[in-house]
Amino acid sequence: MDSGVFRQIDYKMPPKTGVMAAKTSVFYLTERLTLTAANTEVSDTIDLGAYVDVADRQGILVHSVDFVYQGTSATSSIAGTLGGSGSITAQLTDLNRGSIVFADDRALVASGRLELDTDAFLSQAGDLYPDNFGPTSAQGGRIVINDQMYLRGVTTVLGANQEVNVTVRIKCSVISLSQKDFMAIALQSTAADN
């Protein structure tokens, strides 16, 4: 179980209700963070500007999110990379919060945590899944209408001359929303910003 790959979200897709229409087939967005120091949060943005269009009420439907945890190289052991008991936390949000957030934050899209104990046993006991945070569609996925998503990660321990790489893989599609649905999500997103 040292591969460091954990499924974070798995939404079921019921039949379409006519409220929205998929404009594209499913595609993947990916981003990788490199954590080079313990207890130092690192973040990056995922640009959605090419997919989100306010004038056309177009947004992103997130079907699933995977976090992949790897060591200094793509094949190195996470247990060896961490060098002791600790955890790696990763979160995906649709607003820039500037730090890791609690699970009740409406900007949270997905989260994951990988924990390592002194016996080199890996678990994700600190973060249950599937995640289903924020505005959701009748199709069962998370709707994002902001022009960026934010990936943030932190590790509590790191071996000497090691680094942890956290990659997010987002399975999504572009959708068109009704005026009413787009406005409701925009209002909720604005409220979450406060």
d(CA 110, CA 112): 7
Q: Indicate the class that CATH gives domain 5-10+23-192.
A: mainly beta
- 135-190: pLDDT as tens digits: 555 566 888 989 999 999 999 999 999 999 999 999 999 998 888 887 887 777 66
Domain ranges for the chain, please list them.
Answer: 5-10+23-192
With a CB cutoff of 8 Å and minimum separation 6, the contacts of 190 are none
- 132-150: pLDDT as tens digits: 555 555 566 888 989 999 9
Q: What is the 3-state secondary structure (H, E, C) of the chain?
A: CCCCEEECCCCCCCCCCCCEEECCCCEEEEEEEEECCCCCCEEEEEECCCCCECCCCEEEEEEEEEEEEECCCCCCCHHHHHCCCEEEEEEEECCCCCCCCCCCCCCEEEEEEEEECCCCCEECCCCCCCCCCCCECCCCCEEECCCEEEEEEEECCCCCCCCEEEEEEEEEEEEEECHHHHHHHHHHHHHHCC
d(CA 89, CA 110): 11
d(CA 155, CA 57): 38
Residue 14 — very low, low, confident or very high, per pLDDT cuts 50/70/90?
A: very low
d(CA 106, CA 190): 10
pTM metric for this prediction: 0.80
d(CA 184, CA 194): 16
- 57-78: pLDDT as tens digits: 898 999 889 999 999 999 988 8
Residue 34 — very low, low, confident or very high, per pLDDT cuts 50/70/90?
A: very high
Q: Which two tokens stand for residue 135?
A: 């505005």
